[in-house]
Amino acid sequence: MTILESLTISDWLRTELKQGRFPPRMPAHRRVYESIRRAIANEHLTPGTRLPSTRSLAQDLDLSRNTLLAAFEQLHEEGYVVSQVGSGTRVADTLPESFLVLDEAQAQGGQEAAKRPAILSRRGTMAAGPVDQPSHEVQPFTPGEDDFSAFPTRLWRRLLNRQWRDPQPAYLDYGHAGGHLPLRRAIANYLRMSRTVNLTVEQVLITSGTQQSIDLCARMLTDVGDRVWVESPCYWGARRVLEVNGLDLHPVPVDDEGMAPGNRDFRRPPRLIYTTPSHQYPKGVVMSYGRRRLLLDYAASRGAWILEDDYDSEFRFEGRPLSSLQGMDQNGCVLYMGTFSKVMYPGIKLGYIVVPPDLADSFKRGLYELQRPGQVVIQAALAEFIEEGHFSTHIRRLRQIYKERRQLLQKVLAPVATVGARLPPAGSGLHLVVELPAHCDDVRVAELAAEQGLRVYPLSLYGVGEKREKGLIVGYAYAATERITPYGRILADVIQAALSS
């Protein structure tokens, strides 16, 4: 039964508008439009049905005629109604939504039409990850808000405002030369001095962070199905990006000297080797000189590229700073990448990659064509932050803060050694690992910690392949110093209880 067979269109529309199914601030003309459009789509108003004139509807509904004219004009523009001189306005014979199948809720006046199943591609499914798997990004283990009090927000705001007062036209564009030249120059100078990286400014590209750097390398240097060596356990972000690019991930175990390839691994050469030599993520070991030499020689002899992720090299608390793997490379096979998210704040989304000279032009074109990077104003502010010495000052302050937090956390977690857990010695980084016995269910221990409001992550979830080490990854960089000890004691109690049961 159509609306016209039961009541007039004016009466029906008056009832629709009074039922309050619309957002509070929706204009009146939009409410009229939505009501009629829905009735047409649900076939309550059938093709050819003549609608009342805007003048008569305005009187019946106590609305201005301009409101009705605006609603009818929108319906006409979208093809729901047609108007002819002498015959008024009628429902169109061919409707824009005639191919849609509406669900029962919509047919009864619901707000949303039935949607087709949200079926992702294989690549999309990999990118989204398992529904029940938490994020693996290491954040503070203490409950509450992340602590960013060490970041000089007023200084940073002043530098940004300085750029916005009279921005150059190029600052508002995407940026097509690999990034803001003063920032690339500042990065090059910093890396030469602090990380013994061999480079020119032309080799530096600004990206939105390490994951974009890895993604760019995968797109520019590999084809679907190519083999990639990854450390196991491995940084989850790198693993996800490489998987989504359709690459064949081959796990290589990590020992006390870092990535440890064996005869089985050497049988099939990789196209890429992803590694974190200065501070393995997440275990924290430092790659030995001999192992570095082995990787460099093997990559050069097999035509492989090494992706060196130097994600937190600024935060070494003990001993002399370590040189980069890239600084030892004599064959141009290392692509070195770093990020400002650890030193500045995560949301800045700026990183960099140093590519071999022969790849520089191609990578700049690829970055521009694939990503359209932008954020030039922020890059300009960051360049001044570095050039004026604020970056070095900020790093020195963070080192002291993080060193204190790490010492506190190591001290308060020390009792877990009595039940078979182990705290490996480490003098750098933003997190530490509590190694657990092989028989332990580290996922369950992390769940027990979560019941106490603590955020720690199972080491086994970072493993690639069948062999998975057990442990807990505990972040402390964004945790307030005064909260380390009390919540560290709670975590120690959880671990002791889990291993004693």
* CATH number of the CATH domain containing 408: 3.90.1150.10
- The residue ranking higher by pLDDT, 328 or 371, is 328
What mean pLDDT is predicted for residues 384-391? 96
364 pLDDT more than 60: yes
461 falls within a domain: yes
Confidence band for 332, pLDDT divided at 50, 70 and 90:
very high
Above pLDDT 70, what percent of the chain? 90
482 falls within a domain: yes
Confidence band for 139, pLDDT divided at 50, 70 and 90:
confident
- CB atoms near residue 176 (< 10 Å): 14
Do 380 and 407 lie in one domain? The reply is no
348 pLDDT more than 60: yes
Do 207 and 345 lie in one domain? The reply is yes
Rounded Cα–Cα distance for residues 286 and 325 (Å): 11
Do 59 and 79 lie in one domain? The reply is yes
Question: Of 357, 388, 419, which residue sits at a domain end?
Answer: 388
What mean pLDDT is predicted for residues 137-157? 80
Do 382 and 405 lie in one domain? The reply is no
Question: Of 107, 142, 167, which residue sits at a domain end?
Answer: 107
Domains in the chain: how many in total? 3
Domain holding 93, by residue range, is: 3-107
Look at the block and give the residue holding tokens 């530490």: 432
Average pLDDT, whole number, for the chain?
A: 88
CB 190 within 8 Å of CB 291: no
Helix ranges, 245-320 (H): 263-266, 289-302
Do 359 and 329 lie in one domain? The reply is yes
Question: Of 82, 107, 132, which residue sits at a domain end?
Answer: 107
Do 345 and 437 lie in one domain? The reply is no
Q: HEC string of 140-180?
A: ECCCCCCCCCCCCHHHHHHHHHHHHHCCCHHHHCCCCCCCC
Is-cis flag, bond preceding 282, omega within 30?
yes
Do 63 and 197 lie in one domain? The reply is no
Q: What is the pLDDT of residue 302?
A: 95
157 pLDDT more than 50: yes
Q: What is the pLDDT of residue 101?
A: 44
Whether the CA torsion 146, 406, 311, 193 is positive or negative: it is: positive
Give this prediction's pTM: 0.77
109 pLDDT more than 70: no
Is-cis flag, bond preceding 233, omega within 30?
yes
Q: What is the pLDDT of residue 106?
A: 46
Do 416 and 473 lie in one domain? The reply is yes
Confidence band for 174, pLDDT divided at 50, 70 and 90:
confident
pLDDT in tens, 405-432: 999 999 999 999 999 999 988 777 889 9
162 falls within a domain: no
Rounded Cα–Cα distance for residues 301 and 299 (Å): 6
149 falls within a domain: no
102 pLDDT more than 50: no
The domain that holds 100 is classified in CATH as 1.10.10.10
Helix ranges, 372-458 (H): 376-387, 390-413, 442-451
Whether the CA torsion 409, 411, 417, 418 is positive or negative: it is: negative
Do 461 and 374 lie in one domain? The reply is no
Rounded Cα–Cα distance for residues 44 and 478 (Å): 58
Confidence band for 292, pLDDT divided at 50, 70 and 90:
very high
Confidence band for 499, pLDDT divided at 50, 70 and 90:
very high
Reference 379, options 192, 152, 170; nearest CA is 170
